[in-house]
Structure 1
Amino acid sequence: MSKLNEDALTAALETINNRGDFSGQTGLVLGSGLGHFAEELSNVQRIPFHEIPHFPVSTVKGHAGELISGRVAEHRVLVMRGRVHFYEGYTLDQIIFPIQILRGLGAQTLIITNAAGAVNMEFQPGDLMVIDRQMNLTGRSVLSEAEPLRPYLRRLGDLVERVGREMKLPIRRGCYAGLTGPSYETPAEIRLLRHMGVDAVGMSTIHETIEAYALGMEVLGISCMTNFAAGILDQPLDHEEVIATGKRIEKIFSELLHRILIQI
């Protein structure tokens, strides 16, 4: 980490700690349209991103933009309700800054979620997928050396599947590919991704996961299929569809996260 980033992190953490008890062993990043879970926490404290020095602020609909501390039963959690993306004009250092904040506040486990397009023809909008591997197609990297082959912890993925069975909720597993956006992929690009073994595609998660792994955090990734990827249906893709699907499954998704956290 550069001296500039160290100074920014120190200033941000000082501000957060002066606002209350923002500590927790588990950090969550909630993706587009998936922020409902934060409303079900107890003993909640909030700080809008724009009140934290150097903190990047999301400009995308469906990202509330706040750091939340709360409880699930006796489990203290830290929630990033929203995130930023390359296509908003942010740098790689800014994109991974919230993960550094979570680690600095004591989080040892990261649950990272996203809204994704279903590339796998067997997937449907509303399906949930445990990410067991990822493909960095952004042309950028957090690390100067080779990226980790398996940053996602299998034990946590197994836990999600077990909880899914308890809820009678099918849980997929697969490969997530991260691109920069902001445009959705073309049908030809989706066919190529499918040929490469990709199951879901989105515009986030990749670098946050790599940074968390580099910081020694255990990582669980969950993608919500909010739409079919381009070319599967004969209609254009729309961000409003992403938000609508997130709204449709918000209670089920929140219950899944709640049960995971109790058992984690």
Structure 2
Amino acid sequence: MKAAQHLRARCRWQPRIGIILGSGLGEAVRRIRSAKIISYCSIPYFPPLRTPVEGHAGELHLGLWNAVPVAAVASRLHLYEGYSPAEVVFPVRLLGLAGIKMLVVTCAAGGIARQAAPGSFMIFSDHLNWQGQNPLAGPHDPRWGERFVDLSQAYDPALRRAAKGVAAGLSRQSRGGGFKCFEGVYAALLGPSYETPAEIRALKRGGADAVGMSAVPEVLAARQMGLRVLGIATITNRAAGLSPGRLSHEEVLAVGKRASAGLARLLDALLPRVEMETGRWKLETRKLPSDLGG
């Protein structure tokens, strides 16, 4: 509770929506007005930052995004950095304790489906967890939620419809079809190595439309806490074996930064629309842990 109290004491507004920004997408936080920027190292119990990864900032931004109170995580923690699953989802549980009703998870991803071209966006319809880890595994603390979490609708259908509607409007407004968005299945692998062409072929046969190294742990923790979830991937490259070039983190960052303006436009229109819905959502009340350390 200390970490959540620390956060609430610094909020001028009660954040209703949490946002996690992926690789190269941190520039989107410039949309947040009257922002209070909190370094992770100042938050009680927050896992200490390890080797920094370019494109990930280590800050929490509290403020108004198009008049909507939000809390934006400008850098996520990754399993491939050596964090435990519980550490990776610490920001989600922190925001849940702070009172958010909805979580928007964004990430960079490699495109597998034909329509998954670099610079386009994919709204998650479902996911494949190939990371071999789950933040809900291990000793169960019932204060976080149910032991066995239903994921038949991990990504809220109403939020997906709203996002697709906003994206369709932006596509009509863009010249030459510059804004492209589709819905598909996201596959999460551990990383940090990129996938092999054989793995991509297997993922494609399994129904994956895009692949990345994050997002799913946060989604699992959010759903356990009863939060509504929307997932959006920025397609930064074609997956291994689907294009002649080699894959690089530099390319992911470059495309992510160019696409961040499009993501910001999508969220500009979407957040006020879904914020009205959060006022009608009722979370199950439960006794929460005294702190995030257990």
Q: When the two structures are superposed, what TM-score results if normalisation uses the length of structure 2?
A: 0.83
Distance 1:130 1:30 in 2: 14
Write the deviation string for residues 203-243 of structure 1: whole angstroms up to 9, x where unpaired. Answer: 11111001101101000000000111111112221000011
Structure 1 gap segments, 5+ residues each: 1-9
Match of 2:21 among 15, 24, 30: 30
Q: CA deviation at 1:72?
A: 2.4
After TM superposition, the structure 1 = structure 2 runs for residues 43-122 of structure 1, keeping only pairs within 5 Å, are 43-56=34-47, 57=49, 59-122=52-115
Match of 1:156 among 150, 156, 159: 159
Match of 2:243 among 230, 233, 255: 233
Structure 2 counterpart of 1:194, one-letter code? K
Distance 1:13 1:161 in 2: 33
The answer to whether the Cα contact below 8 Å between 1:186 and 1:231 also exists between their aligned partners in 2 is yes
Identity over aligned pairs, percent = 37
Write the deviation string for residues 54-88 of structure 1: whole angstroms up to 9, x where unpaired. Answer: 21336211111111111123311110011011110
Distance 1:137 1:33 in 2: 23
SS at match of 2:154: coil
Structure 1 counterpart of 2:153, one-letter code? R
Distance 1:28 1:252 in 2: 16
1:11 match: 2
Q: CA deviation at 1:146?
A: 5.9
1:223 match: 233
Distance 1:183 1:22 in 2: 40
The answer to whether the Cα contact below 8 Å between 1:163 and 1:260 also exists between their aligned partners in 2 is yes
The answer to whether the Cα contact below 8 Å between 2:4 and 2:95 also exists between their aligned partners in 1 is no
SS at match of 2:89: helix
Q: 1:163 to 1:20 in 2, by over 3 A?
A: closer
Write the deviation string for residues 34-71 of structure 1: whole angstroms up to 9, x where unpaired. Answer: 11221111111010112212213362111111111111
Q: When the two structures are superposed, what TM-score results if normalisation uses the length of structure 1?
A: 0.92
SS at match of 1:167: helix
Match of 1:42 among 8, 25, 33: 33
Q: 1:108 to 1:146 in 2, by over 3 A?
A: closer
The answer to whether the Cα contact below 8 Å between 1:153 and 1:220 also exists between their aligned partners in 2 is yes
SS at match of 1:225: strand
State yes or no: 1:138 paired with 2:131: yes
The answer to whether the Cα contact below 8 Å between 1:147 and 1:210 also exists between their aligned partners in 2 is no
Alignment root-mean-square deviation, CA:
1.5
Q: CA deviation at 1:114?
A: 0.3
2:204 match: 194
The answer to whether the Cα contact below 8 Å between 2:11 and 2:63 also exists between their aligned partners in 1 is no
Distance 2:10 2:272 in 1: 26
SS at match of 1:173: strand
Q: CA deviation at 1:147?
A: 5.5
Structure 2 gap segments, 5+ residues each: 138-147, 172-178, 275-294
State yes or no: 1:253 paired with 2:244: no
Q: CA deviation at 1:252?
A: 1.5
Instruction: Tell me how many residue pairs correspond in the alignment.
Output: 255
Structure 2 counterpart of 1:113, one-letter code? T
The answer to whether the Cα contact below 8 Å between 2:109 and 2:210 also exists between their aligned partners in 1 is yes
Structure 2 counterpart of 1:171, one-letter code? C
Distance 2:66 2:205 in 1: 43
